């Protein structure tokens, strides 16, 4: 009878604690070191706070009942630290010293896993060696020892490859053992979706099938939405789809559209004058223009510059006098969302009907792709 009573009591206590976590998710904290009046909770993608709280007697509470599991940033403007928020009662202790924040967290197992992962990466042999090599390169450049700097650059690339091999392997292992955790889906998003080149429907279908195999607790996190939103965005501009139209002004101030160039293959270069890697592609565009006449191929630069003067100066300096368009800041946002890319340069090839036949082209790969389609 006594054993039965203990079991029932254990179940009741368990239910009470579980219901408290689910019914009243919040961040409870204590802060010391500096006298802050308020503390803020931010999402990574917004400058506007998700919420805030007044600090009284060095203590604060932030209600998180409307937040899905996600990585937030806690602190005050321009001075925050990451916090892996889950729907639970999370306790934090922040110490601020000369503007630097250190934080202890309990109540969020995902935060502990997140911090452990970051620490293991930053303290790994591969990362330490990579940073040491980077410092040597800086010293060689300061001493104007170009031959040593060039030699070390080759070592740096090799060490960088080793670091990413290690990181990818560790990430894959953690994804496999955290299939029902928001932390696992966060790693999946970073590994397979964020800033990745998912340019075919087959690839997108594979990623969607894999992420939907995660457990309910993982799928209820914000990363389920992020993955679906990104994959849907990719689907609008995969290879085989008609390229989303865009509008800009040419060097003479005339408004033009991408669709104006149909009837021939179009090599579209999303670039900016401040992008070093973008301008390294200039010789390959000149090579393409030399290989094919105007009836076969149009090269179209679409600039994301904020200043017309910088854009025009770069064209003159590089002698990139082919079709060039400057787009407004609002059009830039729309284009990046429509074409689902994050970095520059981003180069695509369209067929005469305006369909995308290749994405993410660079250097000789660009020339070989042109030969594949235009030499037949």
Percent of the chain with pLDDT over 70: 94
pLDDT of residue 371: 96
Average pLDDT over residues 99-107: 95
**What are 286-341's pLDDT values in tens digits?**
999 999 999 999 999 999 999 999 999 999 999 999 999 999 999 999 998 889 88
Does the structure show a pLDDT above 50 at 343? Answer: yes
Q: Which of these ranges, 17-31, 170-184, 209-223, has the smallest mean pLDDT? A: 17-31
pLDDT of residue 234: 87
Q: What is the pTM of this model?
A: 0.78
**What are 5-62's pLDDT values in tens digits?**
333 333 333 333 333 345 589 999 999 999 999 999 999 877 889 999 999 999 999 9
Q: SS3 for 105? A: strand
pLDDT of residue 198: 79
Average pLDDT over all residues of the chain: 91
Average pLDDT over residues 242-271: 96
My answer on whether omega of the bond before 265 falls inside 30° of 0, hence cis, is no
Strands (E), 212-337: 247-249, 255-257, 265-271, 297-303, 323-326
Strands (E), the chain: 26-32, 38-42, 51-54, 59-63, 70-76, 79-85, 89-97, 100-106, 247-249, 255-257, 265-271, 297-303, 323-326, 346-350, 356-359
């Amino acid at each position: 009878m006594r054993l039965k009573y203990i079991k029932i009591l254990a179940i009741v206590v368990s239910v009470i604690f579980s219901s408290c976590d689910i019914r009243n998710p919040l961040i409870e904290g204590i802060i010391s070191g500096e006298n802050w009046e308020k503390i803020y909770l931010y999402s990574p993608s917004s400058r506007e706070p998700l919420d805030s709280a007044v600090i009284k007697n060095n203590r604060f509470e932030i209600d998180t009942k409307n937040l899905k599991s996600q990585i937030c940033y806690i602190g005050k403007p321009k001075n925050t630290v990451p916090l892996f928020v889950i729907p639970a009662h999370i306790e934090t202790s922040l110490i601020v010293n000369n503007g630097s924040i250190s934080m202890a967290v309990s109540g969020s197992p995902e935060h502990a896993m997140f911090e452990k992962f970051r620490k293991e990466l930053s303290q790994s042999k591969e990362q330490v060696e990579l940073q040491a090599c980077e410092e040597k390169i800086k010293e060689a450049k300061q001493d104007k020892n170009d031959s040593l700097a060039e030699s070390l650059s080759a070592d740096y690339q090799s060490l960088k490859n080793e670091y990413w091999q290690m990181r990818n392997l560790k990430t894959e292992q953690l994804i496999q053992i955290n299939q029902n955790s928001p932390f696992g889906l966060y790693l999946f998003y970073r590994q397979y979706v964020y800033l990745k080149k998912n340019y075919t429907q087959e690839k997108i279908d594979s990623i969607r099938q894999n992420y939907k195999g995660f457990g309910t607790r993982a799928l209820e996190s914000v990363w389920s939405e992020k993955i679906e939103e990104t994959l849907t965005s990719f689907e609008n501009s995969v290879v085989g789809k008609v390229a989303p139209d865009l509008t800009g002004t040419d060097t003479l101030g005339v408004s033009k559209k991408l669709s104006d160039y149909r009837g021939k293959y179009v090599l579209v270069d999303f670039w900016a004058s401040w992008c070093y890697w973008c301008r390294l592609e200039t010789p390959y565009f000149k090579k393409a223009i030399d290989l094919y006449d105007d009836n076969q191929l149009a090269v179209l630069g679409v600039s994301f510059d904020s200043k017309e003067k910088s854009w025009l100066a770069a064209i003159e300096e590089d002698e990139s006098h082919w079709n060039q368009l400057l787009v407004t800041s609002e059009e830039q946002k729309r284009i990046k969302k429509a074409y689902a890319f994050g970095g520059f340069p981003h180069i695509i090839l369209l067929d005469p009907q305006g369909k995308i036949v290749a994405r993410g082209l660079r250097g000789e790969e660009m020339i070989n792709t042109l030969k594949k389609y235009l030499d037949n």
